Amino acid sequence: MTTTALPVVPAGTPPAPPRAGRGRAGLGERTIPYLLLAPAVVTMLVLLGWPAVQVIAISFRRLDLGELVRGEVVWVGLDNYRAVLADPEVWTVTLRTVVFTASVVAATVIGGLLLALLMRHIAAGVRVAVQICLVLAWATPILATTTVFQWIFDQQYGILNKTLVKLGFDSFAGYSWFSSGASTLTVVGLLIVWQAMPFVCFTIYAGLLTAPKELYEAASMDGASGWQTFSTVSWPVIRPLVTLATFLSLIWDFKVMAQVWAIRQGGPDGESTTLPVLLYLKGIAGRHFGVASAIAVLMILVLLVLSIRYLQLLLRSKEGDLS
């Protein structure tokens, strides 16, 4: 942190006076902004920046339990990366994670968009009811949600199987939703979509409300169809929000860990293991810190690409105003 400061002046939106304080621009006054920022900067650098540097460093070291206990630093170059890229399990898990993320994000964004459009066209009373229920889903803590989903999907007494049997699907009597990786991940995916859709829906709906009423009136006077009104009036307004929500969902869902772990710890037999779970199993449970860090770095690279694009979009929108 440098202490060579420009004169300190307020940055309020109204034209600010040339200098804060009472005309003394002593060294003390010029360092004040930095002193006030120091706790936040130090915290972020030590607890977020340092681990980010360390994860890269560790990915080039052999660091298993032995090295950790002996305090050895063994540099192995790209060995960890070679091992990771040659590991078929990593590829299977990566492919699974990509497919899982893509499906969850697609379902969340398309569902949220449709729901936002629906909210414009329903009676006010129903809309309030929908909003309250969406907030409930959004607000329930993840771990409370995972327990109740496991109860709903319970093999013997779960309400879902009971309902399906009542509707005539007798094969669901005693059906186990957690016996295969694909169906376990389907339940996890449903859970994530259920919890993530309200955010996307509210964001898009808030955008829809900013579209000028006159445009809708003009469209309906010109006899535009529902689709034409959507594509010419609504879509231009909400497109930036839909893009932002998509990127945010991609970033969130690619690294989602709590739900997958809490439901079946990546089981049965590792079939629902995603990348973050693999990271935990190799790193913390297996104590192969070096190899796990290499996986983490590869994950971060993917997230980095997504995040940079997201930040670009955000800075272009009003929300990310840096002034």
Partner 1 sequence: MKRVALNTIGVIVAVLFAFPTYWMLTSAFKPSGDLLTPDYDLIPLSVTFDNFVSAFTQPGFTVHLTNSLIVTLGAVACSLVAGVLAAFPLARLRFRGRRGFLLLVLIAQMAPLEALFIPMFLLMQDAGLLNQLPSLLLVYFAITLPFTVWTLRGFVQGIPYELEEAGMVDGLSRFGAFRRIVLPLLGPGLVATSVFAFITAWNEFLYALVFMRDSDKQTLPVWLSTFRSVFGTDWGAIMAASVLYALPALVFFLIVQRKLVAGATAGALKG
Judged by CB under 8 A, the chain residues 34 through 53 that form the site for partner 1 are: 34, 36-37, 39-41, 43-44, 47-48, 50-52
3-class DSSP assignment, residue 120: helix
Least distance (Å) from partner 1 to the CB of residue 122?
4
Could you give the CA distance from residue 29 to residue 20 in angstroms, rounded to a whole number? 9
Query: Would you count residue 25 as binding partner 1 (CB under 8 A)?
Result: no
Query: Would you count residue 124 as binding partner 1 (CB under 8 A)?
Result: no
Could you give the CA distance from residue 320 to residue 250 in angstroms, rounded to a whole number? 19
CB closer to partner 1 out of 185 and 194: 194
Could you give the CA distance from residue 138 to residue 133 in angstroms, rounded to a whole number? 9
Amino acid found at 114: L
Quick one: which segment of 82-90, 100-108, 214-222, 304-312 binds partner 1 (CB under 8 A)?
A: 304-312
For residue 316, what are the contacts with CB-CB under 8 A and spacing of at least 6? 240
Query: Would you count residue 86 as binding partner 1 (CB under 8 A)?
Result: no
Name which position in 78, 148, 182, 305 contacts partner 1 (CB under 8 A). 148
Name which position in 33, 66, 212, 236 contacts partner 1 (CB under 8 A). 33
Query: Would you count residue 83 as binding partner 1 (CB under 8 A)?
Result: no
Query: Would you count residue 27 as binding partner 1 (CB under 8 A)?
Result: no
Name which position in 54, 179, 220, 228 contacts partner 1 (CB under 8 A). 54
For residue 267, what are the contacts with CB-CB under 8 A and spacing of at least 6? 178, 184, 273
Query: Would you count residue 14 as binding partner 1 (CB under 8 A)?
Result: yes
Taking the C-alpha atoms of 82, 83, 88 and 94 in order, what is their torsion angle to the nearest 10 degrees? -70
**Strand partners for 75:** 61
Residues in the chain: 323
Name which position in 162, 164, 180, 224 contacts partner 1 (CB under 8 A). 162
Query: Would you count residue 164 as binding partner 1 (CB under 8 A)?
Result: no
Name which position in 65, 73, 102, 284 contacts partner 1 (CB under 8 A). 284
Name which position in 25, 74, 118, 218 contacts partner 1 (CB under 8 A). 118
3-class DSSP assignment, residue 74: strand
Q: Minimal CA–CA distance to 288: which of 68, 31, 73, 19? A: 68
Name which position in 95, 159, 182, 305 contacts partner 1 (CB under 8 A). 159
Query: Would you count residue 73 as binding partner 1 (CB under 8 A)?
Result: no
Token pair for 67: 């090295």
